[in-house]
Amino acid sequence: MDAGRGSRGRAPLLFGVVHLELPARDGPKGCLVDTSRTTIRVQSERAVLAAVRLPGAAYDQADPFGELAALAEQAGAMVVGTIDQQRERPQAGTYMGKGKVEQLRDLCEQLDASLVIFDHELSPAQLGNIEKVVQRKIVDRSELILDIFAARATSHEAKLQVELAQLEYTYPRLRAMWSHLERIAGGAPVGIGTRGPGEQQLEIDRRLVRTKLRNLRRELAEIQRRKSREVRKRNRDHTTVGLVGYTNAGKSTLFNTLTAGGDNADESLLAT
């Protein structure tokens, strides 16, 4: 557990936690829908990084949180602490063990952190269970990377691809986002006797997301068909070469050296 990692002096970017922006609505009995996971756009959130080290997992033992910290800072978070745990296998409900999740909660309180970023992909249930204990926003590695892609996308196609990926990520997590349903039931689990307007609105939101997904896929398919025709025409006169490599491996630098493309070649993760 480490509370000493700073922000490395980078200027903060906007950091958005969830990207499906549903409008606030009046809930049952005058309650307002909890939109805290759908509309937040906060600069330089104080974040704690968390990880579970499994047998055989590949990571830099000299700087185990180095890459995740760089990603978090690219998104605009200010890393103020880290916590990890050695386990034979993930805990089914919370990924980390129960005691370690409680330590995570205490560390966030100690460091005044509003955000926890896990170096893994968490299931919707795991995200919800951890949030109940830690009482902070929980973001996994996939959501963090999608947030960075959303900030960097410039072309119309790229923006559509990122939006599609974000919705595909968000769709199975809609129930967790409707945390106000538990308050309707006085803290009891949602089930028989509590399926009222809130539950109906959840189904409406699911239908809206499904419709949006279909429209995005249709639009992207049309763009791909148009690009395929352009590529076939170009390939008649030119040879096409693709540059493939890990983030920050030097693809843009090589591209700029070989061509007059003028691509952004910043020394940072997911810069292009």
Q: Which CATH number characterizes residue 35's domain?
A: 3.40.50.11060
- The helix (H) or strand (E) run that includes residue 74 is helix 66-74
- The three-state secondary structure class of 248 is coil
- Rounded CA separation 120/51 (Å): 7
Q: Which residues of 1-25 are buried (b: 16+ CB within 10 A; e: fewer)?
A: eeeebebeeeeebebbbbbbebeee
Q: What is the pLDDT of residue 6?
A: 39
Q: Is 74 in the same domain as 115?
A: yes
Q: What is the pTM of this model?
A: 0.62
Q: Is 102 in the same domain as 150?
A: yes
Q: What is the pLDDT of residue 178?
A: 54
Q: Is 247 in the same domain as 162?
A: no
Q: Is 28 in the same domain as 126?
A: yes
Look at the chain and report how many structural domains it folds into.
Answer: 2
Q: Is 144 in the same domain as 267?
A: no
Q: Residue 230 domain-assigned?
A: no
Q: Which residues of the chain register pLDDT less than 70?
A: 1-43, 175-201, 261-262, 264-272
Q: Is 232 exposed, middle or buried (0-12, 13-18, 19+ CB in 10 A)?
A: exposed
Q: What is the pLDDT of residue 239?
A: 74
Comparing CA positions, the residue from 111, 108, 140 lying closest to residue 127 is 140
pLDDT in tens, 63-111: 999 999 999 998 889 999 999 999 999 999 999 999 999 999 999 999 9
